[in-house]
Chain A
Amino acid sequence: MTLPWLTILLLLPILGSVVVALLPARLGGPLPKLVGLGFSVLTLVLAIGIAVAYQPGTGLQFAEEVTWIDLFGAHYALGLDGIGLTLVLLTVILTPIVMLASWEDGETGRWGAKGLFAWMLALEGLSIGVFAATDVFLFYVFFEATLIPVYFMVAGYGGPRRVQAAVKFLLYSLAGGLVMLASVIGLYVVSADSEGGPTYLVSELAQLDIGTAAGRWMFVGFFIAFAIKAPMFPVHTWLPDTTEQATPGTSVLLVSVLDKIGTFGMIRFCLEIFPEASRWATPVVIVLAVFSILYGALMAIGSQNISRLIAYTSVSHFGFIVLGIFVMNSQGLAGANLYMFNHGLSTAALFLVTGYLISRRGSARIEDFGGVEKVAPVLAGLMLVAGLSSLALPGLSPFVSELLVMVGAFVYSPWVAAFAVLGIVLAAIYVLWLYQRTMTGPVHEGVAGMRDLGLREIGALAPLVALIVALGFYPQPLLDVINPAVDHTMSQVEKSDPRPTVTEGEAQE
């Protein structure tokens, strides 16, 4: 009898969330925060244990499966493959870091720091559930449930227009989720008509013979939800508004962890369950992805607000990830998977370091800064590292993933690669120009006397920078875990019927 490790991993932060929320108010002080941090570190330790015990290879590990709602075909089914494992790791690594970095951000919020930490832990648990779910119904439940903590984190903590931002975020996500619900129910109808009776297990759905038209409709439903989540052009508009208002910590969890659900879902559900429809949609999706890359980069260059700028860089980066997924070759897919992890790290570093900057200055407008590197050299240095990792400098971890995606894109079509590479050039402009305008030049009167980073703040960033550098030089451990899962996905995609030759501009029905 083995222990249900994934269930424990998922429940631990949720338990922590309840404990933190229920701590009596008179015990004030840092205790709730310490308890919250303790739970997140405990989760991290457990997850590292699971990662160590994980055998790189195909198939799901740590699988659990219990029938949940028989008539719906729903199961409580968890399991990890390489893709899920990396994203679970990303979640558990970022949560304690974000807590440490947001140590003081929650005090003035709606429910105090205690509430912020409780919501963070709840989000952590639910995110682990999303990445570990191997049943579509269960995935959907977690997918929607994650909205609740994020909604309250955005609406309760942050800038003056945070409530509107939170509502916008929630409505966008709910709309996407409900469109997906139609497709989820469609899967039930298809599977209920099959011999095995209704089922929602991904492994069984992937074997299912879904009609071409039905498969394409359901694919569209799933894809819309994931595109909103990711976020892709043209359904990205909620992201800049949200990150502008949210605290840096919330933005990190939102962009680095939660938005990965979108791209994760594309791989796990769109590609594996609807391979035919995925190939059918490839031309459109790739055009949208390239559009996202360029549009996000251009908008980032034009942004006057640091938080909005980072949000737009993410739109651009998610374009790369989606591109890597839908070129449908193993280089692109491996690159996209790696990109998800690395983008999480680099965006987290960027959000946190600019968060320090913004909270010191009390403004997020770029024109309010200048010459910061003279007054706060450590902050400036870390911001440079984070920025360089965002533009994928060789030696830093995002470089490897971006290279793989570009190789995949080139294999697919040199034209696509040519357009996508423009995004890399533009990335250099938005990062370096941001650095130049805020950090260099004469000291802006508003930043004179700015404190440099304290020990806690550096402590939160140090593990991120260390990981970015380490994985930049030696990404092999991650690739070892990811590659078998990528091979599995590729075999799913190529299995059904011979691959049509798709060339740029050729209309597929």
Chain B
Amino acid sequence: MNGFDAPKIEYFTVSPILIVLGVAVIGVLVEAFAPRKLRYPLQVGTALVGLAAAFATSVVVFARLNPFAGDVKAGKVVAEGALAADGPAVFCWLLVLVLGALSVLLFAERRLEAGVVGFAGQAAALPGTEAEREASTSGLEHTEVFPLIMFAIGGMLLFPAANDLLTMFVALEVLSLPLYLLCGLARRRRLLSQEAALKYFLLGAFSSGFFVYGIALVYGYAGSMGFAQIAAAVQADGGERGLLLAGIALISVGLLFKVGAAPFHSWTPDVYQGAPTAVTAFMAAATKVAAFGALLRLFYVAFGGNRTDWTPMIWAVAILTMVVGSVLAISQTDIKRMLAYSSIAHAGFILTGFLGIRSLDEVAAGGLTGVSAVLFYLTTYGFTTLAAFAIVTLVRDGGGEATHLARWQGLGKESPLVAGAFAFLLLAMAGIPLTSGFTGKWAVFAAALQVGAWPVVIVAVLMSAVAAYFYVRVIVLMFFSEPVGDGPSVTTPSIMTSVVIGFGVLATLVLGIVPGALIDVLGRVGVFIR
């Protein structure tokens, strides 16, 4: 008994994760004990308060890194080496928390569905049965969605900070499992939603299998799960290289699946279309942040030593992802599917920035790096896409959201403000200057060009032109086509969805015009601790 040392946990540094997971557990207790009427306000309240508290502590942790002036601190490895609270990780925390809080607001929107949230009244009731009708007429709601999203956010905080493979796998599952469940909870079109959930779950579980197998192989090579030890083993170039390469390949499958990169993207359109739109928005914005944060850390820190081995693979994946996303988006007739393919294309653009890995001594202090470019792009894309999906929830007809593109015809006549905002967001996704999409694209392309990846950049530029076509097509539909039949109508949302849209549009504009401050900060803190 004497030899046992209690693990040393830096509680304050990891407090954002603990707070979010703690609030999630409280949410479960609320479900169990609070009367039905009180659950909605309690759940929304605790979730928002918890996210705010986690955000506040994250800000303190971030400020300790001296992100604005003076000597930048690298951050520290905490929790016995399991987590790294460095610049990229804490920035991902801040971003995920803000995007998460905005998503909670979308989850809590009640006005669009006439007084209930947009999730199934009783998920256990089979679609089309008497039980479902009963649940619907008695106004049942699943307030469990709030603890679920909190668990997912907790996993997303853990994921980019994970400093060993095991923690990373746990984080992956913690963030994925609630998402599988949330995808199946749509109030309308429930069969589609359940199909999406099942598809996502099966493919996700499959990719997790690849991931675990990869972990085992890398462990076999390096003899450790820790990133620092793996990096040392890669430097020393001792063991069986076949193990390492196969391990990297398998782990990549798991992570590229999460970010929705081709050829592991096939779940994206189905799941994005079937899931409740609020969940889609959350997945498109926050999951990408967490998954790319983790991807960057794993490859830059653990496998940075043999990057010449894996960068060709990322080249190919990036090119394929951009081509698949942009070209297939052209033929889509459903707005959610189109945005799904667009998110695939954007994953390709982010991978372009991911290629900008250089050894530390090549990087000028405070200069643009692959890490800072990717983090900046994630920020811009996260807010834009969240607001875009929020607008999708507003355009409705008798059967719920009208997602078929034909139903969006003439929207500009009906509600110029909403259509104008959506057009602006689409222009941002197309990368037109004075929007954040342009500065983001600029940053990732510049990062890739700095390491000589110009073929990828040229493909990226051409694919941006292709992508512009389908964004413009929607703008044409909204502004220059006559409405068909009754046309769609824009339901006025409550303050919550309005805040999300307003915040997203504002961020898109501000980061497009004056991105300097954020980019400078990212240039300073965009270095991983090793």
B-binding residues in A (CB < 8 A): 68-72, 110, 140-142, 144-145, 147-148, 155-156, 163, 167, 170-171, 174-175, 178-179, 181-182, 185-186, 188-189, 192, 197, 217
Contacts and interface: CB of A to CB of B under 8 A. Distances in A.
Contacts of A174: 430, 465, 468
A178 B516 contact: no
Chain A CB within 10 A, most for which of B366, B450, B454, B461: B461
A110 B519 CA distance: 40
Contacts of B468: 170-171, 174-175, 178
B434 to A, nearest CB: 6
B432 interface: yes
B480 A156 contact: yes
Contacts of B427: 148
B461 A71 contact: no
B358 to A, nearest CB: 12
Contact of A163 (B432, B442, B480, B514): B480
Given A171-B469, A192-B368, 13 more contacts: A71-B366, A71-B367, A71-B520, A71-B523, A72-B519, A141-B438, A145-B433, A175-B465, A178-B464, A179-B462, A181-B441, A182-B457, A188-B446
B362 to A, nearest CB: 10
Contacts of A217: 454
A170 B472 CA distance: 9
Nearest to A138: B433
Contact of A178 (B366, B465, B480): B465
B443 to A, nearest CB: 8
Contacts of A178: 431, 461-462, 464-465, 468
A167 B442 contact: no
B319 to A, nearest CB: 15
A204 B291 CA distance: 40
Interface of B: 364, 366-368, 427, 430-434, 438-439, 441-442, 445-446, 449-450, 454, 457-458, 461-462, 464-465, 468-469, 472-473, 476, 479-480, 514-516, 519-520, 523
Contact of A71 (B432, B464, B472, B519): B519
A185 B446 contact: yes
Contacts of A70: 516, 520
B367 A192 contact: yes
Contact of A110 (B462, B480, B516): B480
Contacts of B458: 182
5 contacts: A70-B520, A141-B433, A174-B430, A181-B461, A192-B364
Given A141-B433, A141-B434, A181-B461, A71 B479 contact: no
Given A155-B476, A167-B476, A189 B516 contact: no
A148 B426 CA distance: 13
B469 A140 contact: no
Contacts of A185: 442, 445-446, 449, 457
A341 B366 CA distance: 45
Nearest to B441: A181
A171 B476 contact: no
A283 B157 CA distance: 58
A71 B516 contact: yes
Contacts of A179: 461-462, 465
Contacts of B367: 71, 192
A71 B524 CA distance: 11
A144 B442 contact: no
A9 B472 CA distance: 31
B366 A145 contact: no
Chain B CB within 10 A, most for which of A70, A174, A192, A217: A174
A148 B464 contact: no
A145 B367 CA distance: 28
Given A71-B367, A171-B468, A182 B461 contact: yes
Nearest to A170: B472
Given A181-B445, A185-B446, A69 B469 contact: no
Contacts of B464: 178, 181
Given A71-B516, A167-B472, A192 B450 contact: yes
Contacts of B438: 141, 144
Given A186-B449, A192-B364, A69 B472 contact: no
A189 B469 CA distance: 29
B449 A69 contact: no
A508 B453 CA distance: 27
Given A145-B433, A163-B480, A192-B450, A181 B442 contact: yes
Nearest to A74: B516
B519 A69 contact: yes
Contacts of B430: 174
A175 B468 CA distance: 9
Given A167-B472, A179-B461, A110 B445 contact: no
A182 B445 contact: yes
Nearest to A176: B465
Contacts of B476: 155, 163, 167
Contacts of B519: 69, 71-72
B368 A71 contact: yes
Contacts of B434: 141, 145
Contacts of B445: 181-182, 185
B69 to A, nearest CB: 14
Given A155-B480, A174-B468, A192-B450, A68 B433 contact: no
Contacts of B366: 71
Contacts of A141: 433-434, 438
Nearest to B452: A189
A410 B381 CA distance: 54
Nearest to A142: B433
Contacts of B469: 171
